[in-house]
C-alpha cells in the first residue's frame, strides 16, 4: 500500500511538472511572437499574443515583460483607432452592409454618429425636414481591465457598456459590438447574441 501511494505521488508530481512546463513554453512562445511583431511595428498583431502571454502567469518574469509591452502598445493602438473612427457616420442597421437589401427603403429618420478625438455624439436626423436632434453624448473612454479581456481598445460608455469598434476601410464602414458590461463585481462578458450596429462613413 505504501509503494502504491509513493508511485501515485510521483505520477502526480510528474504530471504537475509537465503541465507547468507546458505553460512556461506556451508563455515564452506567445511572448516571443508578440515581441517579434512589436519590433516590426506591427502593433495590431503584437497585442493579442502579448495579452495571452501575460494572462498565463502575470507574476512571472515573462508576464511582467508582457505587461510592459502592453502598456507601451495601449496608447498607440488607442490613438490609431480614434484616428480611424473620427468623422460622421450613418447607421446602416444591425447587419453588415453587404447583406442589406433594403438600403433604399423609405425611412423617416437617419441615426447619425459624430466622433471627435474626445467624444461620441449621436443624433436623429429627419430626412425630409433635415432637422437634427442630439440624443446622446459619450466621452471617449477606454476600458483598462484587460485582465479579463482580449483587447486594449474596448470603450466604455455612460451606461457602463463595453463596445468594440471595428473599422473596415475598404468598405468605409464601422462595426460596433457590445462585448460586455462593467458591474460592481467586475466585467460581465457577453459572448452570445451580442448587440451589433453597422455604420457607413458619410464625412
Q: How many domains does the chain have?
A: 2
DSSP string over 21-71 = HHHHHHHHHHHHHHHHHHHTT-HHHHHHHHHHHHHH-TTSHHHHHHHHHHH
Judge if 101 and 159 occupy the same domain: yes
Judge if 33 and 116 occupy the same domain: no
What residues have CB less than 8 Å from 10, skipping those under 6 apart? none
Judge if 96 and 187 occupy the same domain: yes
Burial 67-88 (b: 16+ CB within 10 A, else e): bebbeebbeebeeebbeebeee
Residue 70: phi, psi to the nearest 5?
-60, -45
Q: What is the pLDDT of residues 79-122, one digit of tens each?
A: 999 999 999 999 987 555 444 444 455 578 889 999 999 999 99
Q: What is the pLDDT of residues 141-197, one digit of tens each?
A: 999 876 666 789 999 999 999 999 999 998 899 999 999 999 888 888 887 888 999
Residues in the chain: 203
Judge if 63 and 94 occupy the same domain: no
CATH of the domain at 138: 2.40.128
Amino acid at each position: 500500500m505504501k509503494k502504491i501511494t509513493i508511485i501515485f505521488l510521483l505520477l502526480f508530481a510528474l504530471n504537475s511538472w509537465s503541465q507547468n512546463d507546458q505553460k512556461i513554453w506556451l508563455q515564452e512562445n506567445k511572448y516571443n511572437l508578440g515581441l517579434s511583431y512589436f519590433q516590426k511595428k506591427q502593433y495590431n498583431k503584437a497585442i493579442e499574443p502579448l495579452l495571452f502571454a501575460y494572462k498565463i502567469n502575470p507574476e512571472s518574469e515573462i508576464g511582467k515583460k508582457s505587461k510592459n509591452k502592453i502598456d507601451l502598445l495601449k496608447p498607440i493602438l488607442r490613438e490609431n483607432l480614434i484616428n480611424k473612427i473620427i468623422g460622421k457616420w450613418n447607421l446602416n442597421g444591425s447587419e453588415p452592409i453587404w447583406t442589406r437589401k433594403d438600403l433604399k427603403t423609405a425611412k423617416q429618420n437617419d441615426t447619425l454618429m459624430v466622433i471627435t478625438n474626445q467624444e461620441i455624439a449621436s443624433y436623429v436626423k429627419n430626412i425630409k425636414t433635415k432637422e437634427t436632434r442630439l440624443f446622446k453624448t459619450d466621452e471617449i473612454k477606454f476600458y483598462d481591465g484587460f485582465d479579463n479581456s482580449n483587447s486594449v481598445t474596448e470603450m466604455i460608455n455612460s451606461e457602463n457598456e463595453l463596445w468594440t469598434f471595428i473599422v473596415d476601410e475598404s468598405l468605409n464602414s464601422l462595426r460596433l459590438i457590445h462585448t460586455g458590461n462593467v458591474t460592481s463585481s467586475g466585467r460581465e462578458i457577453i459572448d452570445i447574441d451580442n448587440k451589433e450596429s453597422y455604420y457607413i462613413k458619410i464625412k
